[in-house]
Amino acid sequence: MPKRKMPSIVSTGIEGLNEVLRGGLPASNLYMLQGAPGSGKTTAALQFLRAGVEAGESCIYVTLSQSAAELEAIALSHGWTLDGIRIEELSTSGAVYEADDQSIFLTADLRLDETRKAIEAAIEEHKPRRLVYDSLLEIRLITGDSPRFRRELIGFKSFLAKQDVVALLLDTQNSANDRSGEEVEGLAHGVIRFDKSLEEYGGVRRRVEVSKMRGVPVADGYHDMAIREGEGVVVFPRIMPSTDSEGSKPQLIKSGVAELDDMFGGGQEAGTTTLVIGQSGTGKSTMSSLYATAALERGESVALFLFEERLENVLPPVRGAGHGAATVP
């Protein structure tokens, strides 16, 4: 039996999210990006299309909820342009026909039909490789009921499959707040959720979860994210335990002091967390500096996060341990 060819991968335009997805999105599929208003869906969608433009692909942003001027304003806030992205600005608030005098067809039927035809015509004419559909809320409102909404999406998914398009559908609802969200999620090849919450203290906390991705061993759980001016959506993948195959030895992180490493069975296991407890002056900072400088000597990246200590207070114990200040980032 011939070996099955692995599907190609397309970048989301967000480096951290690509890491969570183990490279990106499998091509020629339909995906859903869910999140509350203001959670970063539109910004992420523009990054997805910009990555396509950089790859020389044709890209379309179909918008039913935002104007082209609003999309351009979002892009400009990050210093971006929409060059190479075709904006198809549609409306579901009216129909081409004067439907008020119709006695057989409902106004909603006509609006839905005209919206579908306009989107399909744009796709057939411009043949995009990537498409963003913003948003499903407007289609959900004019279909009026879940079965009809689901049928509409099934037809749209079938149409996209024939056109070889990677589609990202934006939605404000999910299975947690609406039963129809669960039904729609079953049609998508993958579902990505943006979470936004206001904690009792501090600023807004943003997280992303890949709740579904067929055929991809994604990094499960919530991953912190932020929206930064000039960068857009930035994702910080959570630290995961080692995924070495069963029976293989885990990677050990050494301090450079043989006696200390021996106490931990050869070193600290990668992907784990160690809590160092002790009174002031017992050597906690010095011990931490051993691992940091040993990692730097191996050519690895190191980050030190100081909350109560100042950098000048950390340097003396490092020097005292025999390490130069130049080794501390």
Q: How far is the C-alpha of 208 from the C-alpha of 232, rounded, in Å?
A: 14
Dihedral angle computed from the Cα positions of residues 68, 69, 74 and 78, in that order, rounded to the nearest 10 degrees: 110
Alpha helix positions (H), the chain: 15-20, 41-54, 68-77, 107-126, 136-143, 146-163, 179-185, 258-263, 284-297, 311-320
Bridge partners (DSSP) of residue 174 are: none
What pLDDT, on a 0 to 100 scale, did the predictor assign at position 326?
A: 38
- pLDDT exceeds cutoff 90 at 209: yes
**Residue 194 class from Cβ within 10 Å (0-12 exposed, 13-18 middle, 19+ buried)?**
buried
- Is the distance from CB of 28 to CB of 166 less than 8 angstroms? yes
Q: How far is the C-alpha of 36 from the C-alpha of 213, rounded, in Å?
A: 21
> Domains of the chain: which residue ranges?
9-236, 252-327
- The token pair at 99 is 């439907």
Q: How confident is the model at residue 6 (pLDDT cuts 50, 70, 90)?
A: low
What pLDDT, on a 0 to 100 scale, did the predictor assign at position 106?
A: 47
What pLDDT, on a 0 to 100 scale, did the predictor assign at position 78?
A: 96
- The token pair at 144 is 């009026």
More confidently predicted of 143 and 192: 192
Instruction: Check residue 237 and report its DSSP letter.
Output: P
Q: Which of 67-81, 167-181, 261-275 has the lowest mean pLDDT?
A: 167-181
298-325 mean pLDDT: 67
State the pTM of this model: 0.78
More confidently predicted of 203 and 60: 60
What pLDDT, on a 0 to 100 scale, did the predictor assign at position 179?
A: 53
Give 9-236's CATH code, choosing from 1.10.10.10, 3.30.1600.10, 3.40.50.300, 3.40.50.1440.
3.40.50.300
- pLDDT exceeds cutoff 70 at 325: no
What pLDDT, on a 0 to 100 scale, did the predictor assign at position 319?
A: 47
Q: How confident is the model at residue 329 (pLDDT cuts 50, 70, 90)?
A: very low
186-190 mean pLDDT: 92
pLDDT per residue as tens digits for the range 232-280: 999 999 977 655 544 556 678 888 888 988 888 888 887 788 898 999 8
- pLDDT exceeds cutoff 70 at 281: yes
pLDDT per residue as tens digits for the range 24-52: 999 889 999 999 999 999 999 999 999 99
- Is the distance from CB of 110 to CB of 102 less than 8 angstroms? yes
- pLDDT exceeds cutoff 50 at 322: no
CA atoms within 13 A on the CB side of 188: 26
- pLDDT exceeds cutoff 50 at 57: yes
Please give the mean pLDDT across all residues of the chain: 83
pLDDT per residue as tens digits for the range 93-151: 554 434 444 444 445 666 778 888 899 999 999 999 999 999 888 888 888 777 888 88
- pLDDT exceeds cutoff 90 at 295: no
